[in-house]
Structure 1
Amino acid sequence: MSQSLTLIVAGDLNQRTGGYIYDTRIVEALRGAGHSVDVVSLAGRFPDADQQASDQLSAALGDLPDAATVVIDGLAMGALPSVIAQHAERLTITALVHHPLGDEQGLSDTQQQQFHQRELQALAVVSQIIVTSRFTQRRLKALADHYSMSIAAKISVVEPGVDAALINSEIPASIGSEPGKPLRLLCVATLVPRKGQDLLVRALAGVTSTNWQCDCYGAARDAAFAERVQQLIEDNALNVNIQLHGECDEATLIQAYQEADALVLPSWYEGYGMVVTEALAHGLPVITTTGGALDETLPQGAGLKVAPGDVEALKHALSRFCDDAALRDSLKAGALAAREQLNDWQAAGVAFAKALSHAPALSAGSQFAPDWLTLREEIDFTFRSQQLPGKAAQWLSARTQAPRLVDLGAGRGSNMRFLAPFMPLPQHWTLIDHDAALLEEAKASAKSLADQSAITLETLCVSLDSLDHPPLQSAHLVSASALLDLVSQTWIETLVTHCTTHQQALLMALSVTGEWGFTAADGEPQADDEDHWLQALFIAHQQRDKGLGDALGGQAHGALVSALEQANYQVEQVETPWLLGAGNRSHQPLMTALINGWTEAATEQAPEAATRIAEWRERRTQAVASGELGIWVGHCDLLATPLRAE
């Protein structure tokens, strides 16, 4: 489904910085997919906005019709919360945040606080937020907590892509320096304090090997800083070894990547670090810092990372790279392996469009991408109970009317497709979900059902925070699959009261119990202290508010059973764990997705432990990939019927 939207940016879109390149590539990808995108460039001073900047943003938003979809780059909106607030109710505004404005290097404490607070004020009123890394997602939440300022909007992560020609091998990997020639180090970054080129010069000055050359490309956006870097080069007699080339065109930069042996990015902080991914797309190892998102952007084995600002550690890393040919070969192999895992800009555009199309009814953590739903559907069908749907069908058959069934959190319609063959005909389904795109897929997939003439279907795109919808009032049976862990005790009580009032049956499938772990080839549980630690973080994250109150997570199933029994319902339960076998290749994609999901949740819960969590993920992913371990995940299915039928 095509969309029409307006992107508002500060200044010319064609600026060669990471943020502007991201915006440009996303616009190209969206337009290539058939979406209509109008770009509005604002004059004035940003991000410390002057009156011209304020007037320009106000006029741009004022020119848009009611209910228009508008994406505003964070640089253009972060310092103008009052302008955003004037139009927030009339327009659907999405904030595109590359990194918090107050995290820029060189700000005083007062300036930093002002930028943070103004940006949070603006973000408090937008419809939704898109960020370019999970680090920035966590950072915004941490800032909101620090300043006691609420962000109600959903925060989606759409990471940058790379040129498809690179990952499709149409453009070959970098060849590096010629034999016998100096190693070529490449730094691609604008000359501003945050990028740390001054640190790089100081570190290179301490490298004892002289078998290297460093080429720095990037516009001098801070004249005083650029002058200081050049002075450092001269003071250390490195004029021959280090060249500041300034800004260049794309062809020159591609050639520089092709001839380089490594990318060096000494940044204090990055909201993502697109140049790192760009280097990996060229098969180029990276020497960088752990500043901001960089620790996560650069995968293990594809480069070297040091603490930001640590000149001595950076010097040591550069010396190792220059002196150790075996290390260079190993990192090159790691970069080439990482290259195979990258996504292109087209995929980023698809993800961006989906983020825009998501209704903001549920918060982050309650959204499910179609690829995840596809991965789990076959496994769900294999392990869920067939006995309980059969009994539900018997209960419905005793009624005189054709059954009306409602599926909550229906997504792509998987639960309906499983249950429909069990139920008496004719039957009418209402699928309810907050995601319009998934409901469209559900309608399309329903065409594959047999007896289509006897199965009718409608969809309802609304939030589940209310059950006051006509189809729910007239339903005979209410169903859901893999939903309960997202809801609160209050929501469960509301659901039971609703079903009791209307004497409805309830069929809930694959409700997680909160238990999961790893198994050996013989099926025996395998766990260590790190597994228990990670699971505790995941459970804590699972109990966050997902838009329906404080989520019960694995406790929800038991809470529902208790509430139903108190309401005089007959309750039948069946344990339906996923048993994903060690060495089962058909199960491996889902097992990998599970490990990644647990890792992401744990990292959001404890961002300070990101490195430890990443090490756990790598170890467990390798064990699953080698066939050493499988995974089990606890679930329960439930059928509840009123003891007194109508």
Structure 2
Amino acid sequence: MNQRLSLIVAGDPAQRTGGYLYDAQIVTALRAQGWDIEVVGLDGAFPDADATARQALENALAAQPDGAAVVIDGLAMGALPDVVAGHRERLALTGLLHHPLGDELGLGAADQQRLHRSELHALAALPRIIVTSRFTARRLSVLADDYAIPLGGRISVIEPGVAKAPVSPAPQAGEPLRLLCVATLTPRKGQDVLVEALAGLEAGGWRCDCYGGARDAAFTLRVQYLIEYHDLEDSVTLHGECDSDTLETAYQRAHALVLPSWYEGYGMVVTEALAHGLPVITTTGGALRDTLPKGAGLSVEPGDMGQLQEALARFCADADLRTALREGALKARQTLNDWHAAGKAFARALTDRPATLAAGSQFAASWLSLREAVDRASRSQRLASLAGEWLSTRADAYRLVDLGCGRGSNVNYLASRLPGPQAWTLVDHDAALLKEARARVMTLRDARGHTIVADTLAASLARFDLPALASAHLVTASALLDLVSQAWIDALVAHCVAHRQGLLMALSVTGEWRFIDRQHQPVEDPEDAWVLELFRAHQQRDKGLGDALGGRAHAALAAAFSAVGYRVEEAETPWQLAAGEPDHQPLMASLIDGWAAAAREHAPDAAGRIDDWQIQRRQAVASGELGIRVGHRDLLALPREAG
């Protein structure tokens, strides 16, 4: 049976811009793999969605049957987070982001922030996000941290493929050099900078052909004016939008691609030029720094007309440079992925099971960053000190393992509180988080002022046969325990007993949370109690380590260690998020959203009632009326000395 998918885009799906061409090629590749795909184009204005656009997206989503797989292009959803959120529990939604809407050139600070926030809220409702470059993935993570809007969904990078193409002929001796620019006429693409740079070149030895639709009328007039002002009508031609055959002819006649963009989410035309063996003269704007391989072209700072003019002049005047860059482009051509491979990667991103990332159990870097300061203030210093005292009796150097290390927050807290020398192994299943964690901990020092040693290990937390785990003196973890099963706890305790290891488990949720007033007194509300019970039930689903114990896990761990004769010390470590405290409000809003998402997933028939609760509680937190207390406990388990 074919897999079915609907792709929703803003406007006409047949538009010939990089983003729409990406979408079209992915659709073609998926159909070749047996997918049944419907492409839906939305009426209305985007990205600043008008009433027509809003209704069009609502209608398109409402028309999908329950459980349907739907990919929404970022241009179509970024300004409509509430519409997207209204269908997130009913449909299997994926966001496709080419570049953040707020990064478009020419936006004022207020519009930029408005679009960033709106798009992040839309993406935060999705279990899966696909981006088209590593740069955009990094940029999205930075924005999520900057705006304190954590993204719980898995982010997959699926870079564009490229169609096989014949190599364009090299220029003949005495032949004018033909420069090709393929980009829509909008300020971000920088054709005005290009014309100014070309005006400084010696006339006669080159010509420049620009292909791309006039998406911005005022900017198009400006570029045409600059061409006329500099008397370049015989050297620079704006051909407008063209079909694929005309563009292929242009590639075959060209000797280099010029892309003067201020910013690109990927820059597909760069790889298209390389597929033809063409050198590329471009900028370092956005993902272009990554997209152009070294030795295949020249790069300048975006918007720097002088640098661009110098690069163009060098290319036109230096035959040896042109030969070297052409050889670099031909070498890069051999490494390009095709659209079939991109389609297979896209299909994997759609069908892989997304991680469960409800509040209190999510591993997204933005969520971990959001909670770190509150975690640090809540943890038990007493138990950390006791762990340090116990370690100091064990050896002259200490081996420690951090399970589910995330971005390294646990090590950041413990290193300076424990004796040294310390050698840490940071274990997590997420390679991106491991990379961030390693970078954060390499400069940490122990309680005696010595630099710690740390390495990372990408491994499932279900494994206890890791050599680093067997050799550790102290095993640690933070905010992990609610995800695990009784069987996992029994295996961990047995491992610690077998190796005479200590265990320090911090910030384990107890399954208790409640809203508090300005005087820190609990607020009793039956709707809160109802959502809490739904959340507790959701916590006990399998998160990849067996049927999760949720808030019961801490007590189970304490009982298991006590049963084998370990010394067990516990401490209450609740989050106290004060009403009206600005620094706490982003975390409280994220908690409410996470609890509501978990409740809706467990009780989809009650989605409307849960939505009402979510809106009311968010408003109460935003107004400073309510704060939140979330129950946590820390645990230290140490083997008793023999005799």
Query: TM-score, normalised to structure 2's length?
Result: 0.59
Maintained 8 Å contact 1:8/1:70: yes
Aligned counterparts of 1:495 and 1:71: Cα–Cα separation in 2: 32
Where does the alignment leave 5 or more consecutive residues of structure 2 unmatched? 365-402, 405-428, 431-458, 497-542, 546-559, 566-638
Describe how 1:272-283 pairs up with structure 2 within 5 A: 272-283=266-277
Conserved? CA contact 1:487–1:548, under 8 Å: no
**1:269 alignment counterpart:** 263
For residues 284 and 298 of structure 2, what CA distance do their matches in structure 1 show?
A: 10
**Structure 2 partner of 1:221:** 215
Cα distance in structure 1, aligned partners of 2:243 and 2:43:
24
Match of 1:249 among 207, 219, 243: 243
User: How far apart, CA to CA, are the structure 1 residues paired with 2:23 and 2:285?
Assistant: 22
Q: Distance in 1 between matches of 2:241 and 2:252?
A: 17
* 2:209–2:239 contact (8 Å) kept in structure 1: yes
The alpha-carbon distance between structure 1 residues 100 and 495, as it changes in their structure 2 partners (threshold 3 A), is closer
In the aligned structure 2, how far is the partner of 1:71 from the partner of 1:335?
A: 34
Deviations 1:48-91 (A, max 9, x none): 11101000100111111111110000010001111011111111
Aligned to 2:176: 182
2:322 alignment partner AA? R
Q: Secondary structure at the match of 2:282?
A: strand
How do residues 51-70 of structure 1 correspond to structure 2 at under 5 angstroms?
51-70=51-70
Deviation, 1:12, is: 1.2
The aligned amino acid for 1:194 is R
- The one-letter code of the counterpart of 2:127 is S
Contact 1:500 1:567 in 2 (8 A): no
Partner of 2:18: 18
Alignment map for 1:196-235 (pairs within 5 Å) = 196-208=190-202, 210-235=204-229
Pick from 229, 239, 248 the counterpart of residue 233 of structure 2.
239
Q: Does 1:30 align with 2:35?
A: no
User: Counterpart of 1:329?
Assistant: 323
The answer for unaligned runs of 5 or more in structure 1 is 167-171, 367-407, 410-432, 435-462, 468-476, 508-546, 550-563, 570-641
8 Å contact kept, 1:218–1:246: yes
Partner residue in 1 for 2:83: 83
Query: Once the 2 structures are TM-superposed, how far is the Cα of residue 548 of structure 1 from its aligned partner?
Result: 9.7
Query: Which amino acid letter does the alignment assign opposite residue 204 of structure 1?
Result: L
Matched, 1:287 2:281: yes
Range with bigger deviation, 331-340 or 110-119: 110-119
Shift of 1:11: 1.2
- 2:142 corresponds to 1:142: yes
Aligned-partner residue type, residue 333 of structure 1: E
Question: What is the rounded CA distance, in whole Å, between the counterparts of 2:41 and 2:171 in structure 1?
Answer: 41
Rounded to whole Å, the distance in 1 between the matches of 2:158 and 2:242 is 27
- Whole-Å separation in 2 of the counterparts to 1:18 and 1:189: 8
Q: Any conservation in 1 of the 2:180–2:258 contact (CA below 8 Å)?
A: yes
**For 1:38, what is the secondary structure of its paired residue?**
strand
1:108 aligns with 2:102: no
Deviation (angstroms), 1:3 = 2.4
Q: Is the 8 A contact 2:94 2:130 kept in 1?
A: yes
Q: Does the C-alpha gap of structure 1 residues 101 and 483 become closer, same or farther in structure 2, counting only changes over 3 Å? A: farther
Secondary structure (helix, strand or coil) at the match of 1:41 reads: strand
1:136-178 CA distances to partner (integer Å, 9 max, x unpaired)?
A: 0111111111112111111110000011x32xxxxx2010444
The residue that corresponds to 1:191 in the other structure is 185
Deviation at 1:487, TM superposition (A): 9.7
- Equivalents in 1 of 2:122, 2:487: separation in Å? 38
Q: Provide Cα deviations, 1:177-227, integer angstroms capped at 9, x if missing partner.
A: 443221000000000000000000000111235311000001111111111
- Alpha-carbon shift at residue 105 of structure 1 (Å): 1.2
Contact 2:493 2:561 in 1 (8 A): no
Query: 2:9 matched to which residue of 1?
Result: 9
Deviation digits for residues 369-419 of structure 1 (CA, Å, limit 9, x no counterpart): xxxxxxxxxxxxxxxxxxxxxxxxxxxxxxxxxxxxxxx99xxxxxxxxxx
Select which of 307, 310, 314 maps to 2:304: 310
Equivalent residue in structure 2 for 1:357, among 339, 351, 358: 351
Structure 1 segments, 4+ long, off by >2 Å, are 176-179, 362-366, 477-507, 564-569
1:45 aligns with 2:45: yes
Aligned pairs for 1:132-531 (under 5 A) are 132-163=132-163, 165-166=164-165, 172-208=166-202, 210-361=204-355, 488-489=477-478, 491=480, 498=487, 501=490
One-letter amino acid matched to 2:311: A
The 3-state SS of whatever aligns with 2:86 is helix
Question: Shift of residue 37 of structure 1?
Answer: 1.0
SS at match of 2:278: coil
Offset at 1:324? Answer: 0.4
CA–CA separation in structure 1 for the residues paired with 2:492 and 2:143: 47
2-side partners of 1:219 and 1:337: how far apart?
Answer: 31
Letter paired with 1:263? L
The Cα offsets for residues 301-342 of structure 1, whole Å up to 9 and x where unpaired, read as: 000000000000000000000000000000000000000000
CA gap of 1:318–1:482, structure 2 versus 1, over 3 A, is farther
What are the Cα deviations for residues 86-107 of structure 1, in whole angstroms up to 9, with x where unaligned? 1111111100000011111122
Aligned sequence identity (%): 57
Partner of 2:443: none
> Secondary structure of the equivalent of 1:243?
strand
Q: CA deviation at 1:482?
A: 11
Q: In terms of mean alpha carbon deviation, does 12-21 or 497-506 score higher?
A: 497-506
* Paired amino acid for 2:21: I
Secondary structure of residue in 2 paired with 1:87: coil
Q: Deviations over 1:528-587 (max 9, x none)?
A: xxxxxxxxxxxxxxxxxxx999xxxxxxxxxxxxxx999979xxxxxxxxxxxxxxxxxx
Q: 1:160 to 1:500 in 2, by over 3 A?
A: closer
Secondary structure of the residue aligned to 1:96 is strand
- Whether contact under 8 Å (1:213, 1:241) holds in the other structure is yes
Structure 1 residues 84 and 193: CA distance shift in structure 2, 3 A:
same
Partner of 1:427: none
Q: CA contact under 8 A between 1:496 and 1:567: conserved in structure 2?
A: no
Aligned length: 412
Q: 3-state SS of the aligned residue for 1:230?
A: helix
Tell me how far 1:244 sits from its aligned partner. 0.6
Q: 1:497–1:88: structure 2 CA closer, same or farther, 3 Å change rule?
A: closer
